[in-house]
Structure 1
């Protein structure tokens, strides 16, 4: 790509922010647009586990991105912290999966993929996590799983971008459609008026499908609601992440404990519900009985960009020149962001890709 090109990125979640961060050194100008405030949708709402919840249940396409990202996250966080003073808090605690139905498949996957996941005696889990509830009989454990404090990651990426002279950010700037000339996209129609770009990148999460619809294209990305609750405990209260029956507990460094998450198909409705609150509290107390006496200090909902098999769309839109996708990460946007955005930059800039781009290419999938 010629250095003089202007790239317009639609969507300011972690995927959009990191896409901008990776492209900025290599293009003349980056303009990043978000319909509300940066990172306030799925990126802000998620738990931030730097692993798919059940990595062995995913295709090799997701696994490849996850492994690259897991290995890269610590250096990304360090680089952002040094340059911005905002620590994304990549916190390596390990993760226990309890009473898994497909434990044998998980262990076979770990051996095949050479990941440090192994069965442990339930008494060892209780020794390591003394607050763990009594109702579990089996555990597997992976020691190197981290979580990232996603609101801090958003804040750090925003600060890093604001420091770059060739990056412009427009918040509260909703995009309604694309400016076309023949078979090519020349820019976007936005709340601030038309914004032109040599390349337009759609990183709009759950809204990406609706935007592509304006071009008559069908992208199977839809909003999937997830609700979370937050407790405040002592900093050393929970020593590891734990997961059972599809629900997880994530400790932050300062003692905040996240419990998540629901999976709801409710369109773009982000209203937290009493039913979900009670369900999440019940899961919290089953995992960690002492939380029955802890205060819920937060309850919110976010919209994940649901996609078939959770495989994101990364690459050029076929038949529409100048339009690119980096979206559809479903439950794993934070997990897959470093690899997805590195791969995207490689493809756009014509470099040797870090991962085979074929499984993620929009061609043949939309």
Structure 2
């Protein structure tokens, strides 16, 4: 059966791309080498903001701001339609002892974002479990986190209920069908599949796929490890971030602490060294966690890319081949805007955002 769009990858980018295209009336088949939502998108923390938004380019900022505005409505719509609540949880975010605090405040003023200095006594009043030893803080209200495993499950349920979507799991893609500079489909472990276009949304594996066409996409795996504690529901009222590590509260009292950043290829084995380091971070940020049980410890592979600017658009050398990949640490943050932009471009609609910074032309090595 000929499909309009074949999407490779069942993480947040692949699932949401499929959802947006299907809602626009397209026939979609989504191919996943394992099970949908089981890789980096599942493993992340789900903060709906880059960790240090002022350190990113305007290209990342534009996607982030659009997505931040979109997330509450997306969460509510998915909950209403699927019965699975992605838990878009607005807690605000405290940054502690920033080296570039002035840059952060200048950026926020220019962007119209409500970032402000807060006296440490106010921070301790608002977050009584916070550790001592921090000198300065800035706070942005309204920053949310999304419970990413539930977001992925909600999208999976939504897609399963759409007649114009087919999801094929345990179906690794091994290469592309192409002729005369046009991609016609894919080769998979389950045989050939043909379509009008193919979208690569395979996260850290996207570079390996494109290498089969002789294209060098500078996207590689960057390992991140996290730990999870179970606390009282009111234990941590806001997200806190210091020294590139963070603590994220879920509504039911689970608290995530992360994360490492490791360049070790496709190895996603959790390590004792990382566990010890993350536990030390947890105890420094929130001393009550020093004696808390680690409910779970895991690792995922982020799709590392130069400057974290994703690739969104058609590959000039191969008509019908589209990319939506290379989001690095910000896949969940940037997904709504990225997938909306991809959908606009595929359907020839006026783009939601300027597509130029994300275009593929001139960015492949």
Equivalent residue number for residue 229 of structure 1: 227
* Distance in 1 between residues matched to 2:73 and 2:224, nearest whole Å: 29
**SS of structure 2 residue aligned to 1:197:** strand
How far did residue 5 of structure 1 move? 5.9
| Native 8 Å contact 2:40 2:301 kept in 1 | yes
Equivalent residue number for residue 157 of structure 2: 159
How far did residue 86 of structure 1 move? 0.2
Q: TM-score, length-normalised on structure 2?
A: 0.99
* Distance in 2 between residues matched to 1:218 and 1:318, nearest whole Å: 13
Structure-to-structure mapping, 1:65-76, within 5 angstroms: 65-76=63-74
Equivalent residue number for residue 309 of structure 2: 311
Matched, 1:63 2:50: no
Matched, 1:292 2:290: yes
* Distance in 2 between residues matched to 1:305 and 1:10, nearest whole Å: 15
Q: 1:180 aligns with which of 169, 178, 181?
A: 178
How far did residue 27 of structure 1 move? 4.3
Structure-to-structure mapping, 1:129-278, within 5 angstroms: 129-278=127-276
Q: TM-score, length-normalised on structure 1?
A: 0.98
Q: Detail structure 1 runs of 4+ shifted over 4 Å in the superposition.
A: none
Structure-to-structure mapping, 1:100-119, within 5 angstroms: 100-119=98-117
| Native 8 Å contact 1:6 1:27 kept in 2 | no
How far did residue 28 of structure 1 move? 4.3
* Distance in 1 between residues matched to 2:223 and 2:62, nearest whole Å: 26
Equivalent residue number for residue 18 of structure 2: 20
Uncovered stretches (5+) of structure 1, i.e. residues with no partner: none
Uncovered stretches (5+) of structure 2, i.e. residues with no partner: none
* Distance in 2 between residues matched to 1:263 and 1:246, nearest whole Å: 10
Equivalent residue number for residue 81 of structure 1: 79
Corresponding pairs, count: 363
* Distance in 1 between residues matched to 2:65 and 2:209, nearest whole Å: 30
Equivalent residue number for residue 352 of structure 1: 350
Query: What root-mean-square deviation, in Å, do the aligned CA atoms of Structure 1 and Structure 2 show?
Result: 0.8
* Distance in 2 between residues matched to 1:259 and 1:97, nearest whole Å: 14
* Distance in 1 between residues matched to 2:171 and 2:3, nearest whole Å: 22
| Native 8 Å contact 2:3 2:194 kept in 1 | no
**SS of structure 1 residue aligned to 2:252:** coil
* Distance in 2 between residues matched to 1:293 and 1:251, nearest whole Å: 18
How far did residue 25 of structure 1 move? 3.0
| Native 8 Å contact 1:228 1:301 kept in 2 | yes
Equivalent residue number for residue 283 of structure 1: 281
Structure-to-structure mapping, 1:313-328, within 5 angstroms: 313-328=311-326
* Distance in 1 between residues matched to 2:86 and 2:306, nearest whole Å: 30
How far did residue 316 of structure 1 move? 0.3
Q: 1:364 aligns with which of 353, 362, 365?
A: 362
| Native 8 Å contact 1:5 1:27 kept in 2 | no
* Distance in 2 between residues matched to 1:10 and 1:65, nearest whole Å: 22
| Native 8 Å contact 1:161 1:167 kept in 2 | yes
| Native 8 Å contact 1:7 1:27 kept in 2 | no
Q: 1:31 aligns with which of 29, 39, 47?
A: 29
Deviation digits for residues 43-63 of structure 1 (CA, Å, limit 9, x no counterpart): 000000000000000000000
